[in-house]
Amino acid sequence: MSALHAIELTLDEEQRDCYQEITNVAMGQAADLLARLLNVYVILPIPNVNLLEVTELQMALSELENSQSVSAVCQGFIGAGISGEALLIFNDASFEDIARLMDFEGEVDDSSEVELLTDVASILNGACLNGIAQQLDVNFSLGHPVVLGQHCSISELVKAENKQWKKALAIEINYHIKDYDIDCDLLLLFTEDSLLSLNHRISFLL
């Protein structure tokens, strides 16, 4: 451990660009899956890749949603010396439209929202992480999605997600569904210990 921590973790522009492009491809695959399932078009932005101090995480998160009420699930992943958490944050206003698109019948209450949240998370997280793993030529095992909070603020979420990390490679993806009021952010956080393996993997691609 000490040897590992002696190395200053950095992310140069070439590496950042490479992670961004890998994410771009992976998020496209995830969006395609969702688009075909729900018969919609997912608007894809350019993903954000940053090496964050965990203290900066809260700031990054609060920029995602303007203090709106949100619900979130997280899902751990691990494989080939790489591990992290996928955090999917939904604007609560999205649920009505998601329920409609997924042909959900009946009243949308807290428990059905959990169901919808977990369903969408499985699709988006799974496809996106698989897409990244495929390009890096590794395999990730995914944990079960866990609901972090419902109808809470971002700062409450960050408290719930307070891991013992100093730094993390953070990849932010905003998914917006065209013609619907559905907006969510997928935040992929790779632990600082993963960065060596990750950088090693992309060195084969550069």
As a whole number of angstroms, the distance between CA 172 and CA 189 comes to 9
Q: Can you read off the two tokens belonging to residue 4? A: 């590992």
| Single residue of 37, 45, 155, 203 touching another protein by CB under 8 A | 45
* Contact status, residue 135 vs residue 25, Cβ threshold 8 Å: yes
Dist CA 145 CA 4 (whole Å)? 30
Closest to 86 in 3D by CA, of 131, 142, 10, 134 = 142
**Which position among 9, 11, 21, 153 is part of the footprint of another protein (CB under 8 A)?**
21
Side chain identity at 184, as an amino acid letter?
Answer: C
Task: Provide the token pair at 65.
Answer: 């949603």
Choose which of 2, 8, 10, 14 interacts with another protein (CB under 8 A): 14
- What is the footprint of another protein within residues 94-153 (CB under 8 A)? 135
Binding residue for another protein, selected from 9, 11, 44, 147, defined by CB under 8 A? 44
Rule CB under 8 A: say whether 28 interacts with another protein: yes
Q: How far is the CB of 83 from another protein (least distance, A)?
A: 24
Q: Are 45 and 24 in contact (CB under 8 A)?
A: no
For residues 146 and 75, what is the distance between their CA atoms, to the nearest angstrom?
6
Minimum Å gap between C-beta 151 and another protein is: 31
Q: Which amino acid is at 178?
A: K
Q: Contact between 206 and another protein (CB under 8 A)?
A: yes
17 binds another protein (CB under 8 A): yes
CA 183 to chain centre: 13
Question: Quick one: DSSP state of residue 5?
Answer: H
Confirm or reject binding of residue 25 to another protein (CB under 8 A). yes
Q: Does 24 bind another protein (CB under 8 A)?
A: yes
CB of 172 to another protein, least distance (A): 15
Residue (51 or 132) nearer to another protein, CB:
132
Rounded CA separation 114/73 (Å): 9
- Smallest gap from Cβ 84 to another protein, in A, equals 21
CB nearer to another protein: give 73 or 198: 198
Binding site for another protein (CB under 8 A): 14, 17-18, 20-21, 24-29, 31-32, 35-36, 41-42, 44-46, 135, 205-206
